[in-house]
Amino acid sequence: MAPNPRTLADKITAQLGAGQFKAAFKTARAATKQFPKEAYFQNLAGLAQARMGDERTAITHFRQALKLAPGNRDVQNNLVQALISTGQNKRALSLLEKLRDKRSDTGHVLFLTGMARMRDGDYPGALADLDAALDHDPRHAAALNLRGVVRVELRQEAQALDDYRASIEIEPNAPDTLSNLSLLLGRMDRVEEAFAASEKALAINPQHFPALEGYSILLNQMGRRDEAIAAYERMLALAPHHAESLFELARLLGHEHHDDIMARVEAALAKARKGAPDIGFLAFAKAQLLERAGDVAASDDWYRKGNESFARLRPFAAELAIAERDEVLELFPDNAPLPQAPLSDGPVPIFILGLPRSGTTLTEQMISAHPEVFGTGELAMAGRLARAHIDSGAPFDAGAAERFAQAYRAELPQMPAGTRAFTDKMPSNYRFVGMLLAAFPNCVILHMRRDPRDVGLSMWRTYFSSPAMAFTFDQAAIATQINLYRDYMDHWKAGFGDRIVDVDYADLVTNPEAASKRLAQVCGLSWVPEMGQPERNRRTVRTASALQVREGVHTRSVGGWRAHRAAIATLLDGIDPARWPDLAPE
């Protein structure tokens, strides 16, 4: 008896719903041969491949389906989303441009366009598309959710929160939106609410991967190591070769698990496609495992491979960094008086800045252990406000300083009653010291000092997710950034040296109690013993130092670059001795 296409379609749909993706693809593939002119089966075959994580093969089936049914919206949408998932954003945008005038659901086409622009890194363009999509359909829950994601990238956290909540009001049981809400609330230090959102998403769908990922990140940031390990294992039960989960487990698991996790990492490496982002995470995972096993040379080789993979995907634009240095320093000429904004009655800002991996997190842990200090982590507001002012072309006068201070304080998270001071430990604020001193006349500037060779090595062996940290994947770029940092700090020290307090990393780790007492003094605080025990500070840490600060203070990394001379030769050669005359030759 000839097969019934409706029966076959129902069978494939049931297999997809049950998570039997391989079986669904096998059934759909057979159906495409039995019914070669039926677009429906090509579409289902593509969906099955996409659910298995092979969007590239899925694209082939979606294209075949579109040839058979050029006007089918579901097929069009699936093809666009597969193109976006595989990073073919320009092709997705080209297809969407052709579809815009042919479809009546303009809002959804604009939503997909916004998604493609976001994945292509064009956040302002994505925001404009999503605004337009919501003008067409204000109750498009997915567009509200995606606009929230874009606004998070643009550091518009308050507006993002409004978007997520509006989306959830329309679709209360959407795990994607709940997961995104959880991540944002975690960033805002609203940890209990973040956990509630994650747990609701996982109650709706225990296998929802983004919700599990966000839940794992929260646990890790809070120092709940065993629970974080269990959450990552849940993710790997769903996707055994998930590179980021293996990378995190390689950092979290103890020596007794070395052979097991190494075998899993190597199995994932064997499966990874050449040039895929997974390679970087898996290479870093293997490097960390080899490092802990004492094989320094092999570890450095895998760090090199991982960095090369990340650098290909996220190249560093040195010319933009150099141009920004020139633009910023021109606003504060030598011997020019510093403009002053009026003093504010709010908590005193304590800016902890310096090169990444120079001890900013450790310093914040010490200071925020004081009961009257609120630790905000790394705030992006100063950089965003500075960039906007630079782009305006206006001088940074007293009026600009006052507007800067007002805009910055308006975006601060809510702080407990009785807070006298707060910390902002964004390392890259070293670029904007002049603006910070002008905007906040009573602020404290803590400048972290650490041997740039140790800092450079540490950056090269650390994965940073922020696009602003792309320089850390290339040794020549790291050296460029180190040299630019010295230019900034030499300029600020020459003009405002009496307002900048140097904090030596070596002092922090050699005698944390004495260092914390000095920090208390320069910040105008009465010292409390908890400040000398930063590893006991249970506040959430959302940076690459989350694990290290909970291990306890140690001096192992001081001078550690010497054991890696050969591996970081390009970095060492790039550090300009004219800028760094205080570095003893080795």
> How does pLDDT run across 296-341, given as a tens digit for each residue?
999 999 999 999 999 998 889 999 999 999 999 999 999 899 999 9
pLDDT-above-90 percentage for the chain: 59
- Average pLDDT for residues 154-163, to the nearest whole number? 88
pLDDT at 560: 87
Could you tell me the CA-to-CA distances from 359 to 149, 337, 363, 446, 485 in Å, in that order? 30, 31, 6, 11, 15
pLDDT at 581: 93
502 sits in which H/E element: strand 500-504
Closest by CA to 32, choosing from 61, 59, 53, is 61
- Average pLDDT for residues 106-129, to the nearest whole number? 91
Contact 512, 553 (CB under 8 A): yes
pLDDT at 467: 79
Structure confidence at residue 536 as a pLDDT band (50, 70, 90): low
Tell me the β-bridge partners of 350. Answer: 423, 444
Region of poorest pLDDT, from 58-67, 218-227, 398-407, 411-420: 218-227
Joined tokens for residue 137? 């359909």
pLDDT at 556: 62
Strands 373-375 and 421-424: parallel
pLDDT at 427: 95
pLDDT at 3: 66
- Does 210 or 353 have the greater pLDDT score? 353
pLDDT at 52: 79
Region of poorest pLDDT, from 193-197, 426-430, 473-477: 193-197
Structure confidence at residue 225 as a pLDDT band (50, 70, 90): confident
pLDDT at 543: 47
CA 146, 148, 152, 156 torsion-angle sign: positive
Q: With H, G, I as helix, E, B as strand and everything else as coil, classify residue 546.
A: coil
Structure confidence at residue 549 as a pLDDT band (50, 70, 90): very low
pLDDT at 2: 54
Q: Where are the domains of the chain?
A: 319-574
- Does 131 or 222 have the greater pLDDT score? 131
Length of the chain: 586
Contact 245, 231 (CB under 8 A): no
- Tens digit of each residue's pLDDT (9 = 90 or more) over 390-407: 999 999 999 999 999 999
| CATH match for 319-574 among 3.40.50.20, 3.40.50.300, 3.10.20.70, 3.40.50.720 | 3.40.50.300
What is the amino acid identity at position 442?
Answer: N
pLDDT higher than threshold 50 for residue 508: yes
- Tens digit of each residue's pLDDT (9 = 90 or more) over 199-208: 999 999 888 8
- Tens digit of each residue's pLDDT (9 = 90 or more) over 5-58: 888 888 888 888 877 888 989 999 998 998 988 888 999 999 888 887 788 888
pLDDT higher than threshold 90 for residue 378: no
Quickly list H helices, 418-562: 433-439, 452-460, 475-496, 505-510, 512-522
Write down the mean pLDDT value for the chain: 90
Looking up tokens 């001088």, which residue turns up?
A: 395
